[in-house]
A and B are shown apart, each in its own frame.
Chain A
Amino acid sequence: MGFQMLVPFGPWNWLFLLVALRCGGASSDLNESTNSSAQPELNVRFAAAGSEPAETVSVFALDYNYVQIPYEVTLWILLASLAKIGFHVYHRLPGLMPESCLLVLVGALVGTIIFGTDHKSPPVMDSSIYFLYLLPPIVLEGGYFMPTRPFFENIGSILWWAGLGALINAFGIGLSLYLICQVQAFGLSDVNLLQNLLFGSLISAVDPVAVLAVFEEARVNEQLSMMIFGEALLNDGISVVLYNILIAFTKMHKFEDIEPVDILAGCARFIIVGCGGVFFGVIFGFISAFITRFTQNISAIEPLIVFMFSYLSYLVAETLYLSGILAITACAVTMKKYVEENVSQTSYTTIKYFMKMLSSVSETLIFIFMGVSTIGKNHEWNWAFICFTLAFCQIWRAISVFALFYISNQFRTFPFSIKDQCIIFYSGVRGAGSFSLAFLLPLSLFPRKKMFVTATLVVIYFTVFIQGITIGPLVRYLDVRKTNKKESINEELHTRLMDHLKAGIEDVCGHWSHYQVRDKFKKFDHKYLRKILIRENLPKSSIVSLYKKLEMKQAIEMAETGILSSTAFSIPHQAQRIQETKRLCPEDVESMRDILTHNMYQVRQRTLSYNKYNLKPQTSEKQAKEILIRRQNTFRESTRKGHSLPWGRTAGTKNIRYLSFPYSHPQPAGRDVRVAEFTDHDGSDAEVPSIMFNTHSPTGSLQEGRRTQEIIPMKSLHRGGKPPHLGYQRNRSQEEQLGRGRRAVLRPKPLFHAVDEEFESGEESEEEASAIGSRWSTEHRPGRDLHRSHRPLLQRK
């Protein structure tokens, strides 16, 4: 286990800690009050240095209190990171249990250590730290990585499910527990209705995304993932809003004084808080998008702008007692599209990674607090309350899932099956959110706070461990996967072919959604918003040279790995083939099967694949790149043999500098920049200059006359996916370097960027697909398509 490597590391530090404590002998709390204590410490130090005649000048002294807080926090985060590394080293683990399990365990471990060493300063999380510092990054990350298209397509279902589901759960659990509390035998009669409702609202805050990674490989369909993701996103916001409203009620006056007017006011407030938050978020999103339009010369502050505006939206909303969570989510969603096109590539990567990092740190810290609070003396165990809480959580979730989906299925084109609903029911794993809200209950209003905290902890541990670990097998069972391991080579090959075929046909079919609304929005967006918010005339020169460098390097690599080698693509020499049927022994067959399994290309994932804790590695970039190069090669081969191509050498040597259209011989990778439907990318495409490479091939057999290559800025394509940027260019000079006789002739130098993750992000609408298309250096358009090329320019204006 990963913990083994932590063990030698851990005790040393804690030993050091103990020693320091004995020496330091001070105790402080790990919150802002430490600052005040640090101050006198500081003064003391200086005083000691200055005036007091100490015994001697200490050559070696220890001042632990000075660094205590940052030191411990850093240690915890490092510990969690090491555990995560260990977790992923064992490949099977991530498929078995969600990463939250791991974090909970790490938290418990830290808690044990602190408790065991009787450390005098257990970390304390208070309300302002949580709501101001720890919560926003988590929510921001969720909002930023949300794939917008599936979200808005399913928004009705998502709002219905997340909103009503949270409310039903909260009130259901609260009321049921209140009824239980009325039973005298359990000794809970001092817990009144409001407290129960509050507890219900905080315990219904689920974090289902944590389990998403566990059954990701089971190819859950897109709608289901989107429902889960949408629920996770909105659930936090709704719980916190409910929580705040109920706390306000609790503070207001005694329970008996609450009148129906107040309840109505509460409902109205709920709606206003929600919508107001979203409104502010959208405003800030637009502002920040607008500002990024002007940052081309100081791209280093772009991430800063993104983060600061998001955070600002949160703070402003909180100031006005609106929902900061919904504000920051709306801000992230609005801003993402435009910011991605405006900022430079590196800024984009920075933003993504930094966001992941911040949210991961926040969550780790919350889990550590949770662990510390678990292993402690401040528990109150009440069997009845806890057991019934657990039971009611499950019961009410089941009720809400099945009831709400039954209703929404009547209106959906593609209803959710019972299997889907079971998965949604079972993914109701609680997470850090519930714990924080429970922990921050004001003790004055909740004399039995400890009981609530204990109950929350039990529910969290139960759901995270039991449900988290069993959901994988459950999903696989429901999926009725063929467990037929002994697939013959035939079957493997053919099934993979069929998968690819199916994915291809799905792409041809495109996405069927509510065209009208989407089209209207796109028109509006294209006409007004993009003009205001997107940069004009993105400078290309630096990018171009950067790409050239990248491509050269990659081309060299590729040549070395044999992609460009003739053997990979040559027509097999029939003469050398000796047709014998060999009898293969089983081991050979096995190894063959293995080779096939491991090397066949993966089917492009259309569903969104969101992993809360990680950004997926870019393996399928390579795959896409290989496929494209191969197509280029084979196509070139076929054209070389004089297959009929209506396009002749039209290009000539006209040096037309069209801003968006490449010309040359037709390629299967005919990734033209199309205007009509692909409104989202017109902006970026039209701004791209084309670069002419006058390659005269030695044999001059092909339309190498003039190639226009278009370098499309990579960032113009980001749709919730990771940036591909693998520019690949087989340069003429590089050709000469390689000196491949046969091939050197025919290298149209396409410039294309392998795109992959766009696929996984599930944004497979026409725009994205063509956006992906347009990313490719759209090479080759015959001259007669000139009229077509004009079109986009005209239309754009």
Chain B
Amino acid sequence: MGSRSSHAARIPDVDSIRRETGFSQASLLRLYHRFRALDWNEKGYLSRVDLQQIGALAVNPLGDRIIDSFFPDGSLHLDFPGFVRVLARFRPVDDEDNGNRDPKEPEPLNSRMNKLRFAFQLYDLDRDGKISRQEMLQVLRLMVGVQVTEEQLESIADRTVQEADEDGDGAVSFLEFAKSLEKMNIEQKMSIRILK
């Protein structure tokens, strides 16, 4: 199984990662173990292929996009800080965080806005800040079974964009996206309990 050290000192830059992401020491250790477990030939970084090894992702309709979200800006290598940064988005929101937060500091990675941004980028592949009808249609296609015809999908996509689009440009910007989900409990939906 390789030399799996359980010493936190082995994690490079552990303190800066902790500050940035807000993970506890124990969680970081676990994530590090997981990172190394995924990196089975011990390159020190993860590539797309390593993440594709996770079989369960293969049958997730959004598997590809999720993997892509770990590799922002087209990079091919994912190091541990990058890995943790993505997972930090899914930390449960601690109510105290918001109270004591210094408004001048950047928002914590697991704030509601950041969670929404993460979800937004799953739709917005071309990163133009808007979800076009086309992109909505593509996502719909991924998520819906084959019984739905193309025409139905298109009309659903139309309707989805139409509902959220307020300024009438035929696309959903991030703010419109956030507004359409204002009633949802995003903090709970996009939080993973074990990532304390």
| Chain A interface residues toward B at CB < 8 A | 221, 414, 482, 484, 488-491, 493-510, 512, 515, 519, 523, 561-563, 567-568, 572, 579, 581-582, 584, 589, 592, 595-596, 599-601, 604, 623-624, 626-628, 630-631, 666, 668-672, 674-677, 754-756, 759, 764, 766, 768-776, 788
What residues of B have a CB within 8 angstroms of the CB of A770 in the complex? 53-55
Shortest 5 CB-CB contacts between residues of A and residues of B: A773-B55, A772-B55, A670-B52, A504-B66, A624-B59
Nearest-CB residue, chain A, relative to B189: A498
What residues of B have a CB within 8 angstroms of the CB of A592 in the complex? 152, 155-156, 159
Please report which residues of chain B, range 139-196, place their CB below 8 angstroms from some CB of chain A when the two chains form the complex: 139-148, 150, 152, 154-156, 158-160, 162-164, 170, 177, 180-181, 183-186, 189-195
Q: Which of B57, B177, B184, B195 contacts A507 (CB 8 A)?
A: B57
Please report which residues of chain B, range 93-142, place their CB below 8 angstroms from some CB of chain A when the two chains form the complex: 118-119, 122-123, 133-134, 137, 139-142
Q: Which of B2, B30, B57 has the most C-beta atoms of chain A within 10 angstroms of its own C-beta? A: B57
A595 to B154, CA, bound (A): 12
What residues of A have a CB within 8 angstroms of the CB of B134 in the complex? 572
Task: Determine if A502 and B192 form an interchain contact, defined as CB atoms under 8 angstroms apart.
Answer: yes
Task: Determine if A494 and B184 form an interchain contact, defined as CB atoms under 8 angstroms apart.
Answer: yes
Task: Determine if B52 and A601 form an interchain contact, defined as CB atoms under 8 angstroms apart.
Answer: no
Residue B51 CB within 8 A of the other chain: yes
A589 to B181, CA, bound (A): 18
Q: Do A491 and B60 form a contact, CB below 8 Å, given A497-B139, A596-B144? A: no
What residues of A have a CB within 8 angstroms of the CB of B158 in the complex? 581-582
Task: Determine if B183 and A491 form an interchain contact, defined as CB atoms under 8 angstroms apart.
Answer: yes
Task: Determine if A504 and B145 form an interchain contact, defined as CB atoms under 8 angstroms apart.
Answer: no
1/0 per residue, CB under 8 A from A, across B11-55: the answer is 000000000000000000011011001101100000001011111
Task: Determine if A776 and B140 form an interchain contact, defined as CB atoms under 8 angstroms apart.
Answer: no
What residues of B have a CB within 8 angstroms of the CB of A512 in the complex? 30, 34, 194
Nearest-CB residue, chain B, relative to A669: B58
| Chain B interface residues toward A at CB < 8 A | 1-2, 4, 30-31, 33-34, 37-38, 40-41, 49, 51-64, 66-67, 70, 86-87, 90, 118-119, 122-123, 133-134, 137, 139-148, 150, 152, 154-156, 158-160, 162-164, 170, 177, 180-181, 183-186, 189-195
Task: Determine if A668 and B194 form an interchain contact, defined as CB atoms under 8 angstroms apart.
Answer: no
What residues of B have a CB within 8 angstroms of the CB of A497 in the complex? 62, 119, 122-123, 139, 143
A288 to B155, CA, bound (A): 58
| Chain B interface, >50% SS class | helix
What residues of B have a CB within 8 angstroms of the CB of A589 in the complex? 159
25 contacts between A and B (CB under 8 A): A221-B193, A490-B160, A491-B184, A495-B189, A497-B122, A501-B118, A502-B189, A504-B60, A505-B192, A508-B38, A510-B34, A523-B1, A582-B158, A600-B144, A601-B145, A628-B58, A631-B58, A668-B63, A670-B58, A675-B40, A676-B37, A677-B1, A755-B55, A756-B59, A776-B55
Task: Determine if B144 and A488 form an interchain contact, defined as CB atoms under 8 angstroms apart.
Answer: no
A508 to B139, CA, bound (A): 21
Nearest-CB residue, chain A, relative to B142: A630
> How many Å from the CB of A598 to the closest CB on chain B?
9
Q: Which of A567, A630, A676 contacts B2 (CB 8 A)?
A: A676
A626 to B61, CA, bound (A): 9
What residues of B have a CB within 8 angstroms of the CB of A508 in the complex? 38, 51, 54, 57, 66, 70, 87
> How many Å from the CB of A638 to the closest CB on chain B?
10
What residues of B have a CB within 8 angstroms of the CB of A498 in the complex? 119, 186, 189-190
Task: Determine if B163 and A507 form an interchain contact, defined as CB atoms under 8 angstroms apart.
Answer: no
A496 to B140, CA, bound (A): 11
> How many Å from the CB of B146 to the closest CB on chain A?
5
Q: Do A507 and B60 form a contact, CB below 8 Å, given A592-B155, A599-B148, A600-B144? A: yes
Task: Determine if A501 and B190 form an interchain contact, defined as CB atoms under 8 angstroms apart.
Answer: yes
> How many Å from the CB of B37 to the closest CB on chain A?
6
What residues of B have a CB within 8 angstroms of the CB of A772 in the complex? 55-56, 58-59
A519 to B86, CA, bound (A): 27
> How many Å from the CB of A515 to the closest CB on chain B?
7
What residues of A have a CB within 8 angstroms of the CB of B37 in the complex? 510, 676-677, 766
> How many Å from the CB of A679 to the closest CB on chain B?
9
What residues of A have a CB within 8 angstroms of the CB of B87 in the complex? 505, 508-509
* 13 additional A-B residue pairs with CB within 8 Å, beyond A491-B183, A508-B87, A626-B146: A490-B163, A501-B190, A508-B70, A512-B194, A568-B146, A572-B154, A596-B144, A599-B144, A604-B60, A668-B63, A669-B52, A773-B54, A788-B41
A418 to B56, CA, bound (A): 32
A764 to B87, CA, bound (A): 18
A770 to B56, CA, bound (A): 8
Q: Do A501 and B146 form a contact, CB below 8 Å, given A482-B185, A489-B163? A: no
What residues of A have a CB within 8 angstroms of the CB of B183 in the complex? 484, 491
A608 to B68, CA, bound (A): 29
What residues of A have a CB within 8 angstroms of the CB of B123 in the complex? 497
What residues of B have a CB within 8 angstroms of the CB of A775 in the complex? 55
A21 to B194, CA, bound (A): 66
What residues of B have a CB within 8 angstroms of the CB of A503 in the complex? 60
A584 to B163, CA, bound (A): 11
What residues of B have a CB within 8 angstroms of the CB of A563 in the complex? 146
Task: Determine if B61 and A601 form an interchain contact, defined as CB atoms under 8 angstroms apart.
Answer: yes
Task: Determine if A774 and B64 form an interchain contact, defined as CB atoms under 8 angstroms apart.
Answer: no
Nearest-CB residue, chain B, relative to A756: B59
Task: Determine if B152 and A595 form an interchain contact, defined as CB atoms under 8 angstroms apart.
Answer: yes
A562 to B147, CA, bound (A): 8
What residues of A have a CB within 8 angstroms of the CB of B159 in the complex? 489, 584, 589, 592
Task: Determine if B148 and A595 form an interchain contact, defined as CB atoms under 8 angstroms apart.
Answer: yes
A771 to B54, CA, bound (A): 9
A754 to B55, CA, bound (A): 11
Q: Which of B2, B38, B55, B181 has the most C-beta atoms of chain A within 10 angstroms of its own C-beta? A: B55
Q: Do A494 and B40 form a contact, CB below 8 Å, given A505-B192, A508-B54, A773-B54? A: no
Q: Which of A500, A563, A788 has the most C-beta atoms of chain B within 10 angstroms of its own C-beta? A: A500
